[in-house]
Structure 1
Amino acid sequence: MTEEEKSELLPNGTMGYFSTVKANGFPQTRFWQFQFEEDGKFYFATNNTKDVFAQILNNPKVGFTVSEPNGKYVIRIVGTAAIVTKPSEKEEAYSKMDKIVLSLYKSWSNPLLEIFYISDCEVKYTKGFGLPKVIKY
């Protein structure tokens, strides 16, 4: 998969499935919105009162999966989540977020808002039932 294909198949705001590891060692997957990719970092947002945030802090190994509804392709991102803590970086990332996130949190400085990204990751792209192509970041 080329960078151009990735951008076409994984546009900002794409809905998919985000997976974390629960304290009992089992995975938990939920419907989630991808925000954007920059410099090999795949950005997301959440509320720091949710279980998902505690799970990321406890075990930062995460995944995000997107599939075309008719099975034409699947994109899987697996890597390590990192929380954005520097205020200037958080403000910049927030400015690139989907309007849904902007309407929920109203400001990058909202104390409930956590922005994180997946890095040190593999992006696997599969067409139909073919073998995956892999991009490592």
Structure 2
Amino acid sequence: MTGNEQVLDYLTNIPAWYLATCEGDQPHVRPFSFAAEQDGKIWFCTATTKDVYRELEANPKFELSGWHPGHGWIILRGKAGLEDKANAEVRRAGYEHMCGLGETYEGENDPVLTFFSVEEPQAWMCDIDGSWVPIEF
């Protein structure tokens, strides 16, 4: 299983994970729940009107963590590639997912709905016993 497959398998089998950004010296954490793969990269989606997007524009570095009971937790860090190159399949899936959460967009091509790639990914699977295993990309 590739690193992307391992990360996507983990993230798509939990209800949410938490993505952290930083604004100045203040960290900000919020739940995310959509992930997809395209062109050998992991993609997430958000809205251009949200603070998280503005924070990633100012500083594209992020880190996320999620926990799957019985499977330890994941840490993924990278840089947000904000050039939205999501294909029709990823865009449709993200749109449907976000609408399912109660968000409203004018369609899958609404310019407010945006997708960003994970650039320079680093990830680890961690366990309560203090052990961790790097995920190779």
C-alpha distance in structure 1 between counterparts of 2:73 and 2:27, whole Å: 19
Matched, 1:124 2:124: yes
C-alpha spacing 1:74/1:101, structure 2 compared with 1 (3 Å): same
Offset at residue 39 of structure 1 (A): 5.2
In the alignment, what sits opposite 2:19? 18
Counterpart contact for 1:75–1:123, Cα < 8 Å: yes
In the alignment, what sits opposite 1:133? 133
Residues 25-77 of structure 1 deviation map (CA, whole Å, 9 limit, x = unaligned): 32111122132234552221111111111100000001121112x57410011
Structure 2 unaligned residues grouped into runs of 5+: none
TM-score computed with the length of structure 2 as normaliser = 0.78
Counterpart contact for 2:34–2:94, Cα < 8 Å: no
RMSD: 2.7
Structure 1 unaligned residues grouped into runs of 5+: none
Q: Please tell me the residue identity of whatever aligns with 1:37.
A: E
Matched, 1:100 2:97: yes
SS of aligned partner of 1:95: helix
C-alpha spacing 1:13/1:105, structure 2 compared with 1 (3 Å): farther
Structure 1 segment 52-71 matched on structure 2, within 5 A: 52-68=52-68, 70=69
C-alpha distance in structure 2 between counterparts of 1:60 and 1:102, whole Å: 25
C-alpha spacing 1:85/1:31, structure 2 compared with 1 (3 Å): closer
Counterpart contact for 1:40–1:119, Cα < 8 Å: no
TM-score computed with the length of structure 1 as normaliser = 0.78
